[in-house]
Amino acid sequence: MNTNKTIKWGVLGCGNIAHYFAQDLGSIPNAKLHAVASRNLQKAKDFGEKYDSPQAYGSYEELSKDNEIDVIYIATPHVFHHENTIMCLNNNKAVLCEKPFAMNISQVEEMISIAKEKQIFLMEALWTYFLPHYDHVLKLIGSKEFGNVKTVTADFGFAATFNPDGRLFNKKLGGGSLLDVGIYPLFAALSILGYPDKIEANATFGKTGVDETCTMKLEYNNGTSASLFSAISKDTNTEAIIEFEKATIKINTQFHKPSSITILKNGVSESFEFPVTTNGYNYEAIHVQNMLLQNRTESTIMTFDKSLQLIKMLDTVREKIGLQYS
């Protein structure tokens, strides 16, 4: 394995999250942003100039056909993930696709099927999984130091500025709280407790027909449970609280991003910091590069099974709340 090989990245879509990702690529010694693409060529050129990318394209297809690229990061709105991913795979490019992987399980199954058939690496960009604080919490859970987990409580809410045409409130762009931020509390429950035996959910809908808040309850046959909430209409603490038999761990505010944790045991509270010098997207990018250098076609952490379980949970919640996308 040549660990010194430079991995050349393409970035497909030049929105906010792509900026954070491109910034963090610059912190990885053997990563190079080689090309960027937007449907607006000037936007791609401006983005590329900002992050020292030698190539800028005015179409996604041009990017997917650039033979210099090793892997493409897809950062378009949810509704385009499926078609963008398949295009890149069909042009023999490894793919790191933003969450949610796609709009429903049938789309995700097709994406995975093509990746397997062509033996090309594909992963859902659930960046939280790779962050130091979250990795530490998962290791504490696995160690059974505090006994078994009894409950998980997690939320993610923010008061978004209402724009009926923006991706958060536009149903045609897969808008709503569930797919945008509700995926994080669901991911927390899945990564900590596994796939639930029962899912209940209800939501409040805004005038554009998307869920502006979503309340979810997951139950497990072993007696554990998860209480989850998402919103794009109000601010919440955005914490994850894990209650064990012998202690409670709180992943502090913005639990999905680089954060700190507080452990409460026997009435004593202790906090732990996990300082990072980036936005936090470098951790998933480094993992992807390691997978490529090992010639793997599937992540050893954010596996296909995990992505299938996550989209199945999202599909079930959508069914429970009566949210349909055309």
With cut-offs at 50, 70 and 90, classify the pLDDT of residue 326: confident
Tens-digit pLDDT profile for residues 21-80: 999 999 999 999 999 999 999 999 999 999 999 999 999 999 999 999 999 999 999 999
Question: Exposed e or buried b for every residue in 213-228, given b needs 16+ CB within 10 A?
Answer: bbbbbbebeeebbbbb
With cut-offs at 50, 70 and 90, classify the pLDDT of residue 1: low
Q: Is the peptide bond before 100 cis (omega within 30 degrees of 0)?
A: yes
Q: What is the pLDDT of residue 99?
A: 98
Question: pTM score, two decimals?
Answer: 0.97
Tens-digit pLDDT profile for residues 20-33: 999 999 999 999 99
Nearest to 41 by CA among 10, 21, 22, 14: 14
Under 8 Å between Cβ of 255 and 153 = no
Query: Averaged over 94-117, what is the pLDDT?
Result: 98
Tens-digit pLDDT profile for residues 147-178: 999 999 999 999 999 999 999 999 999 999 99
Q: Cα–Cα distance between 204 and 18 in angstroms, integer?
A: 30
Q: Cα–Cα distance between 172 and 136 in angstroms, integer?
A: 38
Amino acid at 7: I
Nearest to 257 by CA among 97, 78, 127: 127
Percent of the chain exceeding pLDDT 70 equals 99
Look at residue 2 and tell me whether its pLDDT is greater than 70. Answer: no
Domains of the chain, each with CATH number or no CATH: 7-126+280-295 (3.40.50.720), 132-275+311-321 (3.30.360.10)
Under 8 Å between Cβ of 185 and 230 = yes
HEC-encoded secondary structure of the chain: CCCCCCEEEEEECCCHHHHHHHHHHCCCCCEEEEEEECCCHHHHHHHHHHCCCCEEECCHHHHHCCCCCCEEEECCCHHHHHHHHHHHHHCCCEEEEECCCCCCHHHHHHHHHHHHHHCCCEEEECHHHHCHHHHHHHHHHHHCCCCCEEEEEEEEECECCCCCCCCCCCHHHCCCHHHHHHHHHHHHHHHHHCCCCEEEEEEEECCCCCEEEEEEEEECCCCCEEEEEEECECCCCCCEEEEECCCEEEECCCCCCCCCEEEEECCEEEEECCCCCCCCCHHHHHHHHHHHHCCCCECCCCCHHHHHHHHHHHHHHHHHHCCCCC
Q: What is the pLDDT of residue 4?
A: 80
Q: What is the pLDDT of residue 40?
A: 96
In the predicted model, what is the mean pLDDT of the chain?
A: 97
Percent of the chain exceeding pLDDT 90 equals 98
Look at residue 141 and tell me whether its pLDDT is greater than 90. Answer: yes
Q: Cα–Cα distance between 84 and 242 in angstroms, integer?
A: 36
Query: Averaged over 223-243, what is the pLDDT?
Result: 98
Query: Averaged over 233-260, what is the pLDDT?
Result: 97
Tens-digit pLDDT profile for residues 283-306: 999 999 999 999 999 999 999 999
Query: Averaged over 229-243, what is the pLDDT?
Result: 98
Interior angle at CA 59, CA 281 and CA 287, nearest 5: 20
